[in-house]
Amino acid sequence: MLGGYRLGALAHRGDLADLYDVGADRLLKLPRDPADNDLLAREAHALRQIEERGDPRHLPYVPRLVDTFRHRDAASGAERRITVLAAVPGLHDLDAVRRAYPDGLDARDAAWMWRRLLVALGLAHRAGVVHGAVLPRHVLIEPDAHGVVLVDWCFSAVDGGTVPALVPGYEDWYPPEVTARKPAGPGTDLAMAAACMSWLMGDRAPRELRAFADGCRRPALAARPDDAWRLLGELDEVLDRLYGPRTFRPFTLNP
């Protein structure tokens, strides 16, 4: 038992914490190292701010914070910051998508993922929060209903701050302002989102979408797009020129 929650099976192993099933469609997030308590606190603060300031229509695009508390281990005396999040069944990260489509994903399928990811970022940015780690493992999709949830806000920057740390093994994914420990902005997330989608499509990306992604990934933060909602409109224009009016395209992880 932790804070009144009975730990069930290990559901996910994240970058710095393990997530356990505690029933009632909830997951308890337990940091493996107490030194990362500040990052768990950062996630809780970011999710609260998004919920308080964000458009309620788009809140399903981010995890819902249920509870947060401190727990001291009786044996070691170590104190950990713990969060409890609402669970959403049937989600798969973009790593799983790429494994299913190793030769690259059809751009028409990547399109709805990119569009919904921009909605998640638009929600957060309007609330003053930069995610700071838009990586394939943090972008979860629900294939049947074309849902997207952007998870792991432990590396977020609030109201013009800096990204506190880099996810080990993904250093090359970050734009220059993050590695230089300079303030992040919406363009930080938009660049990383474009990198995710370019990686997902691989050589199957049409020239127009490659150019669009390149425009999101200019080296200087000030030279990049900084409004996810406006960028969504521009993406829709590119997609309309490529494929015509939007239609629902069924997607499966079993091609």
**Structure confidence by residue, pLDDT tens digits, 185-221:** 999 999 999 999 999 999 999 999 999 999 999 999 9
**171 CB burial (10 A radius; 0-12, 13-18, 19+):** exposed
List CB contacts of 127: < 8 A, sequence separation 6 or more.
49, 50, 52, 53, 54
Mean pLDDT of the chain: 96
Neighbours of 8 (CB within 10 A): 13
Span 43-54, average pLDDT: 97
**pLDDT recorded at residue 16:** 93
Residue 149 parent element (H or E): strand 147-150
**pLDDT recorded at residue 2:** 84
Q: What's the angle, vertex CA 96, arms to CA 94 and CA 102, rounded to 5?
A: 95
Q: How many residues does the chain have?
A: 255
